[in-house]
Amino acid sequence: MKDICHHVIISLYEFEISQIYDNEDFGYSKIEVEQSLKDEIPFTRYFYKYEAPKPSAEIMAEIMELEKELSGSLEEIFDL
């Protein structure tokens, strides 16, 4: 049975177990087959350069500085 099915698929002829329909029977006027690229370029492998994150102490110092600037701006806005 497997050989018969393979033959039916490959030969594209009508048999007692298969029929071939025209595209118009399904409402299609054109069939397009889309394929993905076989050779994809892994951009991250070639162009990504790792940068280590800043130390947490440095990040905390930046946050504290921003808080000081923000509190000063709020005092100016609300005349505190």
Rounded distance between C-alpha atoms, residue 11 and residue 3, angstroms = 12
Residue 60 resides in a domain: yes
Whether 18 is covered by a domain: the verdict is: no
pLDDT reading at 3 higher than 60: yes
Tokens 């162009």 found at = 47
Question: Does residue 68 fall inside a structural domain?
Answer: yes
List Cβ neighbours of 18 (8 Å cut-off, separation of 6 or more): 8
How many angstroms separate the first and last alpha carbons of the chain? 89
Does residue 39 lie within any of the structural domains?
no
Indicate the Cα dihedral angle 73, 76, 77, 80, nearest 10°.
110
What does the pLDDT look like over 16-60, one tens digit per residue?
A: 777 777 767 777 666 666 666 566 777 788 888 889 999 999 999
Residue-number span of the structural domain to which 68 is assigned: 49-80
In a domain, 25, yes or no: no
Domain count, the chain: 1
